[in-house]
C-alpha cells in the first residue's frame, strides 16, 4: 500500500466501525478485518488506519490494499443441505474440503449462520451479510435448532428428563434439551432433539452424558427455516419476502451501512 501512515481520523458518532463495514462488504470476517487494520492495509479517505475503533459513514471512502470495497448487495439467505465430510470453515489448516469449496462458483462470498461439525449433516443457513448472521445466531432470538439423531445404546424410561432442565458436562453448562424417541429398530434408536443454544458438539456431548453414542446427526430446522426435501449438497435461496416475514425490522438496512464504494462480490 502506497498511502503514508497517519493518525486515524476522528470517529464519527453516527457511523459504523470500519471493520464492520469491511465485513459487511464480504471481504472477510470482522475479526479478520481488525487484523487488516492493525497491519496498516486499510485506508479511509486516503488515511491509513492502525486501530479498529474508527467509524465511517456513507460519505467516507474505504479501501483495503488499495482497492475500493465491493458494492453491497441486499441481504440474502440460502438453505444448504450440508453433506457429511465437509468442514464449516473458509479455511482448514488440515487441508480438508470445506462447505465453501463445495458451493457453486456463481455465489457471492457467503458465511454460515452457526456451524455443523465434520460428521454432521443437514440444514446449514448461509448469508452474504455478516450483520444478518450475527442477528440470527444471537441467543436472544430464542430460535430452536432441531436435529434427528441416530443413537446406539440402551434407552431407559425417564433418561432424558434431566436434560430438559439443562446439564453441566466437564464444566460446560448446556441449556434445556428436549428429546423425543421416534423409533427403535434393534440396538439403534432415532431421536428428535431440540435445543436453543447450539454449542460445539452439544448434541453428541449431551447424548454421551446419558450413555448414548450418536452415529448419525442431521439438523432439520433452524428457527423457522426447515431442511425440507433438500438433497445432500443442494442449495436453495430464500425469497426476500420470506426474510422480511421472518426477520422484519431485524433485516440490516444496507443504506445505513454502505460506504462510497463500487465493485463486485465473489465467493472466497
Strand ranges in 85-200 using DSSP code E only, listed in sequence order: 111-113, 120-127, 145-152, 167-169, 172-174, 177-183, 188-195
Rounded alpha-carbon distances, angstroms, from residue 11 to 5, 17, 46, 55? 17, 8, 15, 5
Burial classification of residue 146, based on how many CB atoms lie within 10 Å of its CB (0-12 exposed, 13-18 middle, 19 or more buried) = buried
Q: At what angle do helices 130-137 and 240-247 cross, to 10 degrees?
A: 40
Contact status, residue 6 vs residue 45, Cβ threshold 8 Å: no
Burial classification of residue 22, based on how many CB atoms lie within 10 Å of its CB (0-12 exposed, 13-18 middle, 19 or more buried) = buried
Contact status, residue 180 vs residue 189, Cβ threshold 8 Å: no
CA separation for the pair 22, 249 (Å, rounded):
22
CA separation for the pair 157, 202 (Å, rounded):
22
Count of Cβ atoms closer than 10 Å to residue 200 Cβ = 9
Residues acting as catalytic residues = 117
Indicate if the alpha-carbon torsion angle 217, 92, 223, 79 is positive or negative.
negative
Count of Cβ atoms closer than 10 Å to residue 175 Cβ = 15
Amino acid at each position: 500500500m502506497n498511502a503514508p501512515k497517519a493518525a486515524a481520523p476522528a470517529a464519527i458518532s453516527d457511523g459504523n466501525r470500519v471493520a464492520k463495514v469491511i465485513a459487511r462488504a464480504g471481504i472477510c470476517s470482522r475479526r479478520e478485518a481488525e487484523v487488516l487494520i492493525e497491519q496498516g492495509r486499510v485506508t479511509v479517505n486516503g488515511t491509513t488506519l492502525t486501530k479498529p475503533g474508527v467509524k465511517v459513514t456513507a460519505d467516507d471512502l474505504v479501501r483495503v490494499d488499495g482497492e475500493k470495497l465491493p458494492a453491497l448487495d441486499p441481504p440474502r439467505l440460502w438453505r444448504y443441505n450440508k453433506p457429511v465430510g465437509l468442514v464449516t470453515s473458509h479455511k482448514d489448516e488440515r487441508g480438508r474440503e470445506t462447505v465453501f469449496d463445495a458451493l457453486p462458483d456463481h455465489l457471492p462470498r457467503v458465511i454460515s449462520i452457526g456451524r455443523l461439525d465434520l460428521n454432521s449433516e443437514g440444514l446449514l443457513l448461509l448469508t452474504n451479510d455478516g450483520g444478518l448472521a450475527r442477528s440470527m445466531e444471537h441467543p436472544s432470538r430464542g430460535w430452536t435448532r432441531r436435529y434427528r439423531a441416530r443413537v446406539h445404546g440402551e434407552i431407559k424410561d425417564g433418561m432424558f428428563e434431566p436434560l430438559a432442565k439443562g446439564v453441566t458436562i466437564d464444566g460446560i453448562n448446556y441449556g434445556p434439551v428436549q428429546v423425543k424417541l421416534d423409533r427403535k429398530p434393534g440396538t439403534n434408536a432415532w431421536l428428535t432433539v431440540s435445543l436453543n443454544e447450539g454449542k460445539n458438539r452439544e448434541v453428541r456431548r449431551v447424548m454421551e452424558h446419558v450413555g448414548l453414542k450418536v452415529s448419525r446427526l442431521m439438523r432439520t430446522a433452524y428457527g423457522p427455516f426447515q431442511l425440507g426435501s433438500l438433497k445432500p449438497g443442494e442449495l436453495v435461496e430464500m425469497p426476500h419476502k420470506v426474510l422480511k416475514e421472518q426477520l422484519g425490522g431485524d433485516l440490516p438496512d444496507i443504506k445505513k451501512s454502505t460506504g462510497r464504494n463500487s465493485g463486485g462480490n465473489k465467493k472466497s
